Amino acid sequence: MVNIMKKTTILLSLLLTSICFGKQIVVTSDDTMKFNVSEITVEAGSENKLLLKNVGQMPKSAMGHNLVILKAGTDINKFGMAAMTAAASAYIPQDSNKSDVIAHTKILGPNESDEITFTLSKGEYPFICSFPGHYAMMKGIIISK
Ligand code: CU
């Protein structure tokens, strides 16, 4: 009886944890200019935590990476081009393209990581690395349903 109650309590607390904190997603980036995933599924309306880990060895100035979540329907080529000239703001454009950004990590060097928190409504959201020239290779989609 006690055992069953214990199990129920554990199950209940696990359930509460997942409701309160949502999903933790871990994405890695590397020296071959790639993310380890191209598609991420999340639950609409819940808070998500995404940890980007740069597992590459090349210096940040040559092979830095970030992860930028963009609004559904954003033209990633247009955004990526604008980001290229935004070195002063860590490759997050400060012009009209800025409004396309939902969340973004810092630019990471070797063995650095950064976590972001976001909540999405139903839809498909592109994500890219906005370091100059990377968005063509480093891109994917977050499906929120
Ligand atoms: Cu990159």
State in Å: Cα 81 to ligand 1 middle.
Answer: 14
Percent of the chain with pLDDT over 90: 83
| H/E run at residue 25 | strand 23-29
C-alpha 2 to ligand 1 mean position (Å): 52
Q: How is the beta sheet containing 68-70 ordered, strand by strand?
A: 39-42, 139-144, 123-128, 68-70, 101-104
Q: According to the model, what pLDDT value does residue 10 have?
A: 47
Please name each of the domains of the chain with its CATH number: 23-144 (2.60.40.420)
Gap from CA of 64 to ligand 1 centroid (Å) = 6
* Dihedral (CA of 128, 44, 143, 52) sign: positive
Residue 38 Cα to ligand 1 midpoint, Å, equals: 13
| CA–CA dist 110, 69 (Å, integer) | 21
How does residue 1 score in pLDDT terms, banded at 50, 70 and 90? low
**Confidence band, pLDDT 50/70/90 cuts, at residue 18:** very low
Query: What is the model's pLDDT at position 19?
Result: 47
The stretch 69-81 carries a mean pLDDT of 97
Interval between CA 129 and ligand 1 midpoint (Å): 5
pTM of this structure: 0.85
- C-alpha 83/C-alpha 97 separation (Å) is 9
Reduced to 3 states (helix: H, G, I; strand: E, B; else coil), residue 58 is coil
CA distances in angstroms from 100 to 42, 127, 137, 141, listed in the order given: 19, 11, 20, 15
Burial of 9 (0-12, 13-18, 19+ CB in 10 A): exposed
Could you read off the pLDDT of 84-112 as tens digits, one per residue?
999 999 999 999 999 999 999 999 999 99
State the average pLDDT over residues 40-59.
97
